[in-house]
Structure 1
Amino acid sequence: MKYNRENLKKAFNATLEGMSVYKAAKVCSVPESTLRDRTLGIVPIDVSIGFTPIFNREEEEKLVAHIKYMADVGYGYNKRGAREYAASLGKDLTQQKSNSSTLSNCWFYGFLHRWPDLKVASPQKLTTCRAEAASRHKLNSYYKELSSIMTRHNIRQSPEQIYNIDETGISTEHNQPKIICSKSTKPQAITSARSSLTTTIAAGNAIGNHLPPFYVFKGKRWSDDLLKGSVPGAEGIMTETGWSNTQVFEKYLTEFFAKHTGISDSRNQRSVLVLYDWHKSHVSLTLTDWAKRHNVILFVLPPHTSHLTQHLDVAIFGLLKSMYNKECQMFLQRNPGTSITKHLVAELTAKPYLRALSPENLTSAFKKTGIYPFNNKVISNSEVAPSIIYEHNQDKDDTDNNKDQTSTKSKKSGKENIEID
């Protein structure tokens, strides 16, 4: 029989005032045997039910805050790690010795139930260089410089003049999605060998217009069959690696990009802002001179911050590759026994490219990165939290260096005083 503990206390107090145990239990809707155990002193009236809590409310709040902080800065606890840390913290707080180095699953799931704002999730991978580069200070400097350039060239309110260029690798070995199969079997999926990687260069502006894809195929001899079934207007080139290089990027920008955006030698040519990643293959004196003559502003995004500032990385390429994987799966289902080669990449990326670089997705990408509408506060504190560790270490190093310099100066000063005396 379930009962309210407050009602049990009321029934107990009623027996102290002379009411019988039977009547008090009936009036307050509590088990008679439970009430009688309390009145006879067999069980204390304020006895706790279940396990004794390891932490009080305030201690658990501190534990939760620590777990959240570690997850924010990129060093979060997994299930076992959280249980082990909580066990060690409990030992420190209670000063009790225990042979167990971890708490139970029962405690863990009860902990999550008590704190519904916590969840178990797969974190996004973040390299140390990205974590260190994406600091609030560096991003503020980036947005300040970008704002100055957009204002100077009067394009802050001209989304059709703001472009983003980026490239991504397309593999013939696609990632298989989940499939339905028998519980008694271990499913397998046929994929093509990773024979080559094809680079796809994409571009779009803040108003939602995209350029056709530009492919960089691995090989030496060009064949028009490589672009069979591709997006109208798509072009390509061959390199030994399948990656872009200085010559490829120059050709893309000065010929392909200029043709599709209407850039010319006219003196009345409007300013065009091009945002792109820094890479040695993207920088050359020839390209810089061409940009000056054609009123093209080449603006390099902060290094190692593409997961936050690169529009196509943030909102486009993930969707593109996901849809490409589905196209590959359907192609192999329709053509069993065949393989996907570089001659099919343009065809299989055609529909995904058009859908991923739709006007809605492009405008959303520019909005998410704070370019248009301009918003230098769009990147949240949680997204730059991992850089806190590196900023702290840098501050510590600076402090140590200052101490060393001060100590050296003091020693020199002391020597000079001795010599003077």
Structure 2
Amino acid sequence: MSTRAAAKKHDLCHVSLGRFKNKNEALEALGAEKNNNSVSMGYRAWNKVFTQEQEQIMEDYILKAANIYYGFCPKEIRRFAYELADKYKLAMPPQWKDKQMASEDWFSRFMKRHPQLSLQCAQPTSLSRATSFNEANVNCFFNNLEKVMDKYKFKPKDIYNVDETGITTVQKPNRIVTKKGTRQVGALTSAERGTLVTNLPAW
């Protein structure tokens, strides 16, 4: 009985049945058992550019870049994917070479394949804050504050809060890809604010 006739008789897809038959024949040729657990069914992505391991390396690199305030926006990830595929001489769709970047469809599917990633708005963070805001400096600040408070015995009425408003000259960064669930996302800029006008309360 032919594969198509057998599929029709048992109400199966003849393509899937043919693939299963070819897989079994290949296993028999290698001396494997018919009930080998390595037999798999289903469709394989014929135009997939990167392997699962390569995409995992890309995900780790994207998360590391976001953690050090150099997160990638979607277009930068698409350019990065093209440069990586070109570097390792991988087969890629022709439109990648025309635009020098991966397609939007590839990016959307890449995000679906890696649910740990999400697209979030980044807050502008100056280089000085990114490099200075660490555990040692924060502990030093609060130790000095404790010494001053103990020395001068400030009362609550002697402590004032000063607010500042102004017009910024720093551009708002684009949305970047980072780890899903991250509460605070930063992107390095030349400064956090531009020209500021400080408003002091009238006493």
- TM category (shorter chain) comes to 0.5 to 0.7
In structure 2, what is the equivalent of residue 138 of structure 1? 137
- Superposed counterparts of 1:56-71, under 5 Å: 56-71=51-66
Deviations 1:80-139 (A, max 9, x none): 111111121223345669845211111100011112232222311123333333244322
1:168 offset after TM fit, Å? Answer: 1.5
Show the counterpart of 2:183: none
Q: CA distance change for structure 1 residues 164 and 48 in 2, over 3 Å: closer, same or farther? A: farther
Number of the residue aligned with 1:81:
76
Residue 198 to residue 102, structure 1, CA distance change in 2 (3 Å): closer
Higher helix share: 1
Task: Provide the residue aligned with 2:14 in structure 1.
Answer: 32
**2:176 corresponding residue in structure 1:** none
Over 3 Å counting, the alpha-carbon distance change for 1:108 and 1:33 in structure 2 is: closer
* Rg larger for: 1
CA contact (8 A) 1:170 1:199 kept: yes
Aligned to 1:166: 162
Root mean square deviation of aligned Cα: 4.3
Which blocks of at least 5 consecutive residues in structure 1 are unaligned? 1-17, 172-196, 202-213, 215-235, 237-255, 257-421
Q: Is the 8 A contact 1:169 1:200 kept in 2?
A: yes
Summarize the alignment of residues 14-413 of structure 1 with structure 2, pairs less than 5 Å apart.
22=5, 27=10, 30-32=12-14, 34-36=16-18, 39=21, 48-94=43-89, 99-100=97-98, 101-149=100-148, 152=150, 163=159, 165-169=161-165, 199-201=198-200, 214=201, 236=202, 256=203
CA distance in 2, matches of 1:73, 1:137: 18
User: Counterpart amino acid of 2:131?
Assistant: E
Gaps of 5+ in 2: 27-39, 168-195
Do the aligned residues in 2 keep the contact of 1:167 with 1:199 (CA within 8 Å)?
Answer: yes
Q: CA deviation at 1:26?
A: 5.8
Report the CA distance shift for 1:144/1:92 in structure 2 as closer, same or farther (over 3 A): farther
Q: Determine if contact 1:112/1:119 at 8 Å carries over to the other structure.
A: yes
Report how far residue 38 of structure 1 moved. 6.4
When residues 24 and 144 of structure 1 are mapped into structure 2, their CA distance, relative to the original with a 3 A threshold, is: farther
Distance 1:80 1:96 in 2: 20
Q: How many residues align?
A: 156
Counterpart Cα distance in 2 of 1:169 and 1:148 = 30
Counterparts of 1:64 and 1:33, CA distance in 2: 34
What TM-score comes out, normalization by structure 2 length? 0.55
Cα displacement (A) at 1:145: 2.8
Q: 1:71 to 1:22 in 2, by over 3 A?
A: same
1:38/1:154 Cα in 2 relative to 1: closer, same or farther (>3 Å)? same
Contact 2:4 2:14 in 1 (8 A): yes
Letter in 1 for 2:165: G
Q: Which amino acid aligns with 1:166?
A: V
2-side partners of 1:37 and 1:146: how far apart? 72
Alpha-carbon distance, 1:39 to partner: 4.9
Aligned residue type for 2:113: R
CA distance in 2, matches of 1:95, 1:32: 32
1: CA distance between counterparts of 2:155 and 2:17?
Answer: 75
Greater relative CO, 1 or 2 (CA 8 Å, sep 6+): 2
